[in-house]
Structure 1
């Protein structure tokens, strides 16, 4: 059985019970699903720093997915940003410019959960709503094995960073995170 840190990894598609519905549907339709692994974790340790410490996974291998939004001319623009856990998304400069909005902020917690169909602490770039942009920091794509949410707090997905750029709507952005 493959491992990352102290996490035991199994094929993600073998554990649909540990995936949020939108994530499961996305994997069912994605040609790279056979390269996506899953690790069962304690839901109380779903937050990146706690998970990384508890399971001996480096912050450089872990990625955080944050949902942001802004408005322009009455039109709301939403995007998910994926950055390595040892960095932070540059929402006030880079993301704001990419969305072409005057002000950019994190999407309200309850709304992010409702619109993604995923649990807080488990939001992932896999299975995002149609029409959302997915902004990936270039350093995430370079990670050999990236640890991201699974849509639920009780598991994590592990996949080659290069595959993140193959997700629907993905845009690799230099300098997205600082």
Structure 2
């Protein structure tokens, strides 16, 4: 297992998952969950406290892509050691004139998840999930659970297998 955490089957601990995540986690093979201090949910603090390497932690960012008055939302999965190329790769992939990180209030309202815990598991149907190649290739990745009080551990290939997921070169 990864880090100094007590991992257990995610499907058996729904209280550690946001409602949309709990509803979707059964379709994700190998998903484990662990409780953490919610004050340490942000990546750098989490990795330091729980001895999780940055290259085993993947962040989910919600992007709002705009074209002709229409807004499309997408999730991008990137290792904590990288940054998503939102204005280049993501904007072009979504066919948008402009792409930016979605405002916190918008991201949490649309996903039903807490800021700092947003995850691609359980996102609204039809949202593209752009998974960086390095995340998809990771033997295990620590991601959000929809709540700040826990984290999910799963194989990178499980992220690549989510509905609407596409593996691309996403990092700058």
TM-score by length of 1: 0.94
Question: 1:16-69 deviations in whole A, cap 9, x for unaligned?
Answer: 0010000000113x1x34x10011100000001110000000000000000011
Q: CA RMSD in A?
A: 0.9
Partner of 1:12: 10
TM-score by length of 2: 0.97
Alpha-carbon distance between aligned partners in 1 of 2:96 and 2:120, rounded to the nearest angstrom: 22
Alpha-carbon distance between aligned partners in 2 of 1:41 and 1:91, rounded to the nearest angstrom: 29
Q: How far has the Cα of 1:95 moved from its partner?
A: 0.6
Question: Which residues in structure 2 correspond to 1:6-45 (within 5 Å)?
Answer: 6-28=4-26, 30=27, 32-33=28-29, 35-45=30-40
Select which of 63, 76, 79 maps to 1:81.
Answer: 76
1:57 corresponds to 2:62: no
Q: How far has the Cα of 1:5 moved from its partner?
A: 1.5
Partner of 1:177: 171
Q: How far has the Cα of 1:74 moved from its partner?
A: 2.3
Partner of 1:94: 89
Give 5+ residue unaligned stretches, structure 2.
none
Question: 1:3-24 deviations in whole A, cap 9, x for unaligned?
Answer: 3211111111111001000000
Runs of 4+ in 1 over 3 A off after TM superposition: none
Give 5+ residue unaligned stretches, structure 1.
none
